[in-house]
Amino acid sequence: MSQIKGPALFLAQFMGDEAPFNSLPAITEWAKSLGYLGVQLPSWDSRIMNLKKAAESKTYCDDLKGQTNGLEITELASHLQGQLVASHPAYDELFDVFAAPDVQGNPKARSEWAVKQLKLVIKASANLGLKVTPSFTGALLWPTIYPWPQRPAGLVEEGFKELAKRWKPILDFADQHGVDFAYELHPGEDVFDGLTFERFLEATGNHPRVNINYDPSHFVLQCMDYVGFIDVYASRIKAFHVKDAEFRPTAKAGVYGGYANWQERPGRFRSLGDGQVDFKQVFSRLTAAGYSSWAVLEWECCFKDSAQGAAEGAPFIASHLIDVPKKAFDDFAGASSDSKRNRRILGLK
């Protein structure tokens, strides 16, 4: 069995304009003081890195690694760029904020910009010696998630065909550079659970670079078997966001939340240990499945302050890491291999 690495911290939710959250050296010094060993970088945040320079220069990437106070860069996240590869017109104005100003208001140009950005992420990841980028797929079908009005025959198939068509050149480019996409299966994306992942995988011709960023919090809110998911999709899980959640339906609201704010919704993201995710089982199943990359805290909580969540997160993850055994527990009672004896035991001559 392989051993999971950690604890690591996804920096996206902690970046800000005030020290120590406004630069890579300062924020990694802060993260290190809390006990983190690695950081996942939001590739879209210019306070962290210049993505274009990272894609063009290994020297720049080496310098970037020298600014992390000894912490390892685990991955470059590309969620926001991935979101813009495919976007239904209903969300055009809402998603414009993720894009460069010169392509806002122009969906076609925005999508082309997102593709170029993802190729920069791929090249930068390769220059940094990284093998995975966690991302989103984007969504063309999401407004039709509930089957009313009735979806026309072939609509879903056409949506995934187009999604795969947009992603295939990106995935081929990633393959050329030895980088996997680990899609976060997330509501708001066309790929949000196991079935939709399988649809997308099939539509891309079972592309080897189509993989999963496992985040149990999104499965709790969908009432899925998030532990069983690991057993089913183990070979495709290439990244791991450690995030907690709870789902507490009431007489007034359930999965859809009734447009309530996060604190009032039945489904809520929580700090580690405050929700319902059984992380002992999650870490056990991932270890058994051979997952050997990083356990990365993605902090989101509707009640607890981020500083407290980050401080509590490192020891929480560390306490769930499993030191894999170097020998079987019953080796003391074993015997050396003897073919003749084995045949006698079986009653064979």
Backbone phi and psi for residue 269, each to the nearest 5 degrees, phi listed first: -80, 140
How much of the chain exceeds pLDDT 70, in percent?
Answer: 98
pLDDT, tens digit (0-9, with 9 covering 90-100), for 238-268: 999 999 999 999 999 999 999 999 999 999 9
- Our CA angle for 119, 121, 127, nearest 5°, is 105
Total domains, the chain: 1
What is the rounded CA–CA span in Å between residue 306 and residue 310?
Answer: 6
User: What CATH number has the domain bearing residue 224?
Assistant: 3.20.20.150
pLDDT score, position 113: 98
Residue 328 has pLDDT above 80, yes or no: no
**183 - beta bridge partners?**
135, 212
**Which amino acid is it at 205?**
G
Contacts of residue 185, defined as CB under 8 A and 6 or more positions apart, other chains included, come to: 191, 192, 193, 194, 196, 197, 212, 213, 215, 218, 219
Place 76 in a pLDDT band, splitting at 50, 70 and 90. very high
Place 334 in a pLDDT band, splitting at 50, 70 and 90. confident
**pTM of the model as a whole:** 0.95
Mean pLDDT, rounded, of the chain: 96
What is the rounded CA–CA span in Å between residue 236 and residue 286?
Answer: 12
Tokens of 260: 């309530």
Residue 230 has pLDDT above 80, yes or no: yes
What is the CA 172 to chain-centroid distance, rounded?
Answer: 20
**Which amino acid is it at 162?**
E
| Cβ 113 vs Cβ 84: under 8 Å | yes
| Cβ 203 vs Cβ 177: under 8 Å | no
pLDDT score, position 326: 76
Contacts of residue 4, defined as CB under 8 A and 6 or more positions apart, other chains included, come to: 240, 283, 286, 287, 291, 292, 293, 294, 295, 321, 322
pLDDT, tens digit (0-9, with 9 covering 90-100), for 190-208: 999 999 999 999 999 999 9
Least Cα distance to 15 among 23, 6, 4, 5 occurs for 23
Q: How far apart are the first and last CA of the chain?
A: 36
Q: Which domain holds residue 257?
A: 5-345
